[in-house]
């Protein structure tokens, strides 16, 4: 059995699976159910100043995949709509009852030092393990000068983080918004302010769908709609990229990262960890399937780690970071071509039509004794991978490396690079 | 034992239940989920396996995308009887057998059920989706109003030609109306579909008109620019066995016709012990339906084995799961009975000799029966009357690649020409013949 114990900036949890600050962590009842199900930690839904915010009735939008599976999700819900004291009392009680689990409190108050001093004092009394600064919410709160409105201005991030470190001894996790051009700038600002960790990504500005009868975006609130924060498995690629950008940044590279965005299973989590995250936070998947999904997250990660000989998380956290580079440093002399396993081919012909219509005309459709056959035209194949991805049969199309005898060459050194030509 | 033939063997509720829709119809959600299994193949093998060339991946994708009426139009533009074909096609030996999902999963996309779902949605709107071209001034006579003829009539009407259907019976639809098992086409579907087809306009129908009886080919050729014959196979093959004329021995197609037209199923005479002789889909339909009408013991006897049977594996399964017993490798050699009524059938066991020919073994057995149905195939009824007639070969009209018979301007299609005798094939015959007639009439 691998050791799944996790340590994020001094905040310990029995496993790296936390629930993100969101509806599932709104109150004691939910959080206790999560801990009972096995979640290693929870970031309590964002607390703000009293009076509490008021939420809309229609809060969610969805993007559906096959069989009505929700693959993308968005919301226009605001921060906790319960009185601050009620939340604080429950946090204190839950932390006392579940000492081995991580309990972090998400906060969002106006950009005034006194507001932060006041709430930090109150949170500290709950004996929670740390705080997470919600600089991410893209809707509702940002219009009030909070959430993403702060997260989009690195100077504000640095300022608020500094206040929190100055007025509290709790570890500070700074949650970053993806609604910016380059995530490294807010990450560097959080680091300058003294943050103990960053968490990312928060949700993405989005409209998931329209009601074409009402000509209203969804969710439709009495015929009108507004953009919401996008999440769910569809955002994972964006989140992985942003995590990797920070992990391999010269300045911010040392930052402790809590990975968020589309984590549905142990493999997603392992990917975030391999890109440098110390743990992951999950929300949407539980909102679609309930808290029980953590069971296989733990079991699956455990089995994979055992199989790979990773005794503990640190063995592979960040292991993929050295293999991320910029395009110009890729080996331009590396060649591969597609290979179709004729025994596995079911003759759907999609590789052919995709290559023929949209790519390099490198898959030939023939008939042999009346049977369809699809074959790679090797000289025409540029190894683009399109067919590999669209083939419905796993393992039917593979990419075969070609031994072309050429030494590795980066574009920066390639004589075909006009920049090099100009230098000569 | 006395012959036991009776009416009213079941309660009205039982008749109702037994003759309700045999097919589990997909609802919108099920159709959406099933449609998503389609891989949208390039050069899809299912299309090649469809005798009417329906662009199957395209119509299924339209269902996935919520364009259900568009899906139906995609089907109907290739096969105007897509509704009945979705009910009666042996998809397990056509499109679904070739579905690429069969390869690794052994479970095809349920193409037939998806076709039924979308065509049902469109037909429920009461709208006809095609618009007839301007009147061409040309007229075509069509003899028969079965699937081949309806398909031909629709395609000709679409091109603006005026079509007159001459049907010997009282209703259009042919075997869909008079021959298909009742539980496959419930709720008067054949009539509704015929009306749907003719809603394009430009199609007149005359009932009670039989070629060689009150209608002559010479006159039709004189009165119309072209003639299409889609008269099917009106005669039943006889067994040529002693005692075949006893009461209680009858043609399956006649009984099924009466069943299909019956206003009250309890009026139909049903034997307690029934034997159906034959191995095709008509034999299966007969056996299942007589069982569902309350026969106690139904046995199908086929002279060859399950692999040679005309009825598909699926049809055999249907029969066997409805308590019909199928006996293979035996042929009737004698009927006996008392008071002129059949009481038992003598069978001789059969086998294949070393040259693969069927032969009797000399060993016999006897089965008691109150009713015996002949379902050993249909044959073309020769055209009577004077004048030129199209030539036949093997009991079917000879046609060229344009479905033209040996008489210029006279075309034929459906079961009365050589083929697989499938509804879907008849539809294709009618459609292609119409295209050829259209070209003959100067169209392109």
The answer to whether residues A318 and A379 belong to one domain is no
Mean pLDDT of chain B: 96
pLDDT tens-digit profile of A93-130? 999 999 999 999 999 999 899 999 999 999 999 999 99
- Where in the sequence numbering do the catalytic residues of A fall? 137
A103 within domain boundaries = yes
Which residues in chain B are contacts of A350 at CB distance < 8 A?
39-42
* CATH architecture of the domain formed by B139-234+380-440: 3-Layer(bba) Sandwich (3.50)
C-alpha dihedral sign at A219, A224, A229, A230: positive
Q: Nearest-CA neighbor of A328 among A415, A409, A422?
A: A409
The answer to whether residues A317 and A342 belong to one domain is no
The answer to whether residues A137 and A68 belong to one domain is yes
Name the domain boundary from A308, A323, A338.
Answer: A323
- Using the beta-carbon criterion (under 8 Å), do A365 and B43 form an inter-chain contact? yes
A283 within domain boundaries = yes
Whether the Cβ atoms of residue A263 and residue A272 lie closer than 8 Å to each other? yes
The domain limits of chain B are: 23-124, 139-234+380-440, 236-377
A64 within domain boundaries = yes
Query: Considering only the top CATH level, what class is B236-377?
Result: alpha beta
CA A208-A213-A214 angle, 5° bins:
75
pLDDT tens-digit profile of A133-180? 998 777 777 777 787 788 999 999 999 999 999 999 999 999 999 999
Query: Using CB atoms within 10 A of its CB, is residue A29 exposed (0-12), middle (13-18) or buried (19+)?
Result: exposed
The answer to whether residues A360 and A384 belong to one domain is yes
The answer to whether residues A57 and A157 belong to one domain is yes
Output the pLDDT for position A422.
Answer: 54
Residue A249 pLDDT greater than 80, yes or no: yes
Name the domain boundary from A268, A288, A323.
Answer: A323
A62 within domain boundaries = yes
A398: CATH: 3.30.70.20
Whether omega for the bond prior to residue B424 falls within 30 degrees of 0, making it cis, is: no
In angstroms and rounded to an integer, the radius of gyration of the C-alpha atoms of chain B is 23
Output the pLDDT for position B1.
Answer: 56
- In chain B, which stretches have pLDDT less than 50? none
The answer to whether residues A266 and A331 belong to one domain is no
Tokens 């199989």, located at residue: A307
pTM of the model: 0.91
Query: How many structural domains is chain A composed of?
Result: 2
Distance from CA of A213 to the nearest CA of B (A): 14
A1 within domain boundaries = no
A65 within domain boundaries = yes
Which residues in chain B are contacts of A349 at CB distance < 8 A?
41-44
Distance from CA of B55 to the nearest CA of A (A): 14
The answer to whether residues A379 and A261 belong to one domain is no
Mean pLDDT of chain A: 95
What kind and span of H or E run contains B240? none
Integer Cα distance of B52 and A126 in angstroms: 74
A167 within domain boundaries = yes
Integer Cα distance of A216 and A222 in angstroms: 9
The answer to whether residues A225 and A269 belong to one domain is yes
pLDDT tens-digit profile of A333-385? 999 999 999 999 999 999 999 999 999 999 999 999 999 999 999 999 999 99
Q: Which chain A residue has its CA at the smallest distance from B106's CA? A: A346
Distance from CA of B99 to the nearest CA of A (A): 9
* Buried-exposed string B37-56: b where 16+ CB fall within 10 A, e elsewhere: bbbbbbbbbbbebbbbebbb
pLDDT tens-digit profile of A272-305? 999 999 999 999 999 999 999 999 999 999 999 9
- Using the beta-carbon criterion (under 8 Å), do B101 and A347 form an inter-chain contact? no
Which residues in chain A are contacts of B33 at CB distance < 8 A?
67-68
Q: Nearest-CA neighbor of B373 among B236, B184, B263, B261?
A: B236
Q: Do domains B23-124 and B139-234+380-440 have the same CATH topology?
A: no
Structural domain containing residue A389: 327-423
At residue B108, the 3 state secondary structure works out as coil
Name A256's Cβ contacts closer than 8 Å, sequence gap at least 6.
Answer: A8, A9, A196, A197, A198, A278
The answer to whether residues A130 and A245 belong to one domain is yes
Q: In the 3-class helix/strand/coil scheme, how is chain A assigned residue by residue?
A: CCECCEEECCEEECCCEEECCCHHHCCHHHHHHHHHHCCCEEEEEEECCCCCCCCCCCCEEEEECHHHCEEEEEECCCCCCCCHHHHHHHHHHHHHHCCCCEEEEEECCCCCHHHHHHHHHHHHCCCCCEEEEECCCCCCCHHHCCCHHHHCCHHHHHHHHHHHHHHCCCCEEEECCCCCCCCHHHHHHHHHHCCCEEEECCCEEECCEEECCCCEEECCECCECCCEEEECHHHHHHHHHHHHHHHCCCCCCCCCEEEECCCCCHHHHHHHHHCCEEEEEECHHHHHHCHHHHHHHHHHHHHHHHHHCCCEHHHCCCCCHHHCCCHHHCECCCEEEEEECCCCCCCCCHHHHHHHHHCCCCEEEEEECCEEEEEECHHHCCCCCHHHHHCCCCCCEEEEEECCCCCCCEHHHCCCCHHHHHHC
The answer to whether residues A318 and A387 belong to one domain is no
Name the domain boundary from A302, A323, A344.
Answer: A323
A84 within domain boundaries = yes
The answer to whether residues A132 and A279 belong to one domain is yes
- B23-124 folds as Fumarate Reductase Iron-sulfur Protein; Chain B, domain 2 (1.10.1060)
**Preferred mutation among A66, A343, A346 to probe B, highest tally of B CBs within 10 A:** A346
- Using the beta-carbon criterion (under 8 Å), do B100 and A346 form an inter-chain contact? yes
Which residues in chain A are contacts of B104 at CB distance < 8 A?
346, 393
The answer to whether residues A164 and A287 belong to one domain is yes
- Using the beta-carbon criterion (under 8 Å), do B42 and A352 form an inter-chain contact? yes
pLDDT tens-digit profile of A395-405? 999 999 999 99
pLDDT tens-digit profile of B29-77? 999 999 999 999 999 999 999 999 999 999 999 999 999 999 999 999 9
Mean pLDDT to the nearest integer, A323-338: 97
A229: CATH: 3.20.20.70
């Amino acid at each position: 059995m691998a050791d799944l114990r996790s340590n994020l900036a001094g905040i310990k949890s029995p496993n790296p699976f936390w629930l993100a600050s969101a509806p599932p962590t709104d109150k004691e009842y939910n959080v206790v159910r999560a801990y009972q199900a096995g979640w290693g930690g929870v970031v309590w839904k964002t607390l703000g100043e009293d009076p509490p915010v008021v939420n809309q009735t229609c809060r969610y939008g969805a993007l559906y995949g096959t069989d009505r599976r929700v693959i993308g999700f968005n919301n226009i819900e605001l921060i906790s709509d319960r009185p601050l004291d009620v939340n604080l009392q429950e946090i204190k009680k839950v932390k006392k009852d579940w000492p081995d689990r991580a309990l972090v409190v998400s906060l969002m108050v106006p950009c005034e030092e006194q507001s932060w001093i006041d709430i930090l004092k109150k949170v500290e009394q709950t004996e929670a393990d740390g705080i997470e600064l919600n600089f991410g919410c893209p809707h509702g709160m940002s219009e009030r000068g909070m959430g993403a409105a702060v997260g989009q201005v690195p100077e504000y991030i640095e300022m608020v983080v500094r206040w929190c470190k100055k007025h509290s001894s709790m570890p500070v996790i700074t949650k970053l918004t993806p609604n910016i051009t380059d995530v490294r700038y807010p990450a560097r600002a959080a680091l300058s302010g003294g943050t103990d960790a960053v968490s990312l990504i928060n949700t993405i500005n989005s409209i998931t769908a329209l009601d074409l009868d009402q000509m209203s975006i969804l969710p439709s609130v009495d015929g009108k709609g507004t953009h919401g924060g996008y999440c769910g498995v569809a955002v994972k690629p964006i989140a992985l990229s942003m995590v990797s950008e920070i992990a391999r940044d010269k300045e911010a590279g040392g930052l402790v990262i809590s990975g968020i965005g589309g984590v549905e299973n142990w493999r997603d989590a392992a990917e975030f960890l391999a890109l440098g995250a110390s743990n992951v936070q999950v929300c949407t998947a539980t909102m679609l399937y309930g808290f029980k999904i953590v069971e296989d997250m733990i079991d699956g990660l455990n089995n994979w780690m055992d199989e790979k000989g990773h005794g503990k998380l640190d063995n592979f956290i960040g292991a993929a970071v050295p293999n991320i580079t910029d395009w110009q440093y890729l080996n331009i002399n590396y060649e591969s071509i597609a290979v179709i396993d004729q025994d596995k081919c079911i003759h759907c012909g999609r590789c052919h039509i995709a290559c023929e219509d949209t790519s390099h005309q490198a898959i030939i459709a023939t008939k042999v004794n009346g049977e369809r056959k699809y074959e790679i035209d090797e000289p025409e194949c540029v190894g683009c991978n399109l067919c590999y991805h669209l083939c419905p049969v796993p393992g039917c199309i593979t990419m075969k490396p070609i031994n072309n005898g050429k030494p590795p060459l980066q574009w920066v050194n390639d004589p075909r690079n006009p920049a090099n030509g100009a230098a000569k | 034992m006395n012959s036991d033939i009776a009416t009213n063997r079941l309660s009205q509720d039982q008749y109702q239940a037994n003759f309700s829709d045999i097919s589990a119809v997909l609802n919108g959600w099920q159709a959406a989920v099933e449609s998503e299994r389609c891989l949208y193949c390039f050069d899809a093998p299912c299309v090649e396996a469809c005798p009417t060339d329906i662009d199957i991946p395209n119509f299924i994708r339209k269902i996935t995308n919520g364009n259900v009426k568009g899906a139906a139009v995609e089907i109907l533009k290739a096969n105007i009887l897509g509704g009945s074909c979705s009910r009666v096609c042996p998809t397990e030996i056509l499109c679904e057998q070739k579905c690429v999902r069969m390869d690794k999963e052994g479970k095809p996309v349920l193409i037939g059920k998806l076709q039924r779902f979308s065509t049902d949605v469109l037909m429920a709107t009461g709208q006809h989706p095609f618009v007839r071209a301007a009147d061409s001034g040309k007229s075509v006579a069509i003899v028969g109003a079965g699937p081949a003829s309806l398909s031909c009539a629709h395609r000709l009407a679409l091109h603006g030609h005026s079509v007159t259907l001459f049907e010997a019976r009282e209703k259009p639809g042919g075997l869909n109306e008079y021959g298909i098992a009742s539980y496959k086409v419930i709720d008067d579907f054949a009539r509704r579909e015929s009306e749907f087809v003719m809603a394009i306009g430009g199609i007149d129908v005359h009932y009670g008109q039989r070629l060689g009886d009150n209608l002559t080919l010479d006159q039709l050729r004189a009165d119309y620019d072209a003639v299409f014959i889609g008269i099917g196979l009106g005669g039943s093959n006889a067994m040529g066995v002693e005692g075949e004329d006893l009461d209680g021995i009858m043609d399956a197609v006649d009984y099924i016709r009466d069943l299909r037209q019956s206003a009250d199923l309890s009026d139909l005479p049903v034997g307690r012990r029934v034997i159906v002789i034959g191995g095709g889909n008509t034999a299966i339909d007969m056996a299942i339906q007589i069982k569902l009408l309350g026969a106690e013991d139904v046995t199908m006897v086929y002279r060859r084995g399950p692999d040679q049977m005309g009825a598909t594996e699926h049809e055999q399964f249907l029969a066997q799961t409805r308590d019909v017993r199928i006996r293979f490798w035996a042929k009737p050699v004698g009927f006996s009975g008392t008071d002129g009524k059949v009481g038992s059938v003598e069978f001789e066991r059969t086998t294949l000799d070393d040259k693969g020919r069927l032969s009797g073994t000399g060993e016999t057995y006897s089965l008691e029966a109150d009713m015996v149905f002949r379902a050993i195939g249909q044959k073309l009824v020769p055209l009577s009357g004077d004048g030129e007639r199209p030539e036949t070969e093997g009991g079917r009209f000879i046609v060229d690649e344009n479905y033209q018979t040996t008489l210029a301007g006279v075309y034929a299609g459906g079961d009365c020409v050589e083929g697989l005798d499938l509804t879907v094939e008849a539809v294709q015959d009618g459609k292609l013949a119409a295209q050829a007639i259209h070209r003959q009439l100067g169209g392109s």
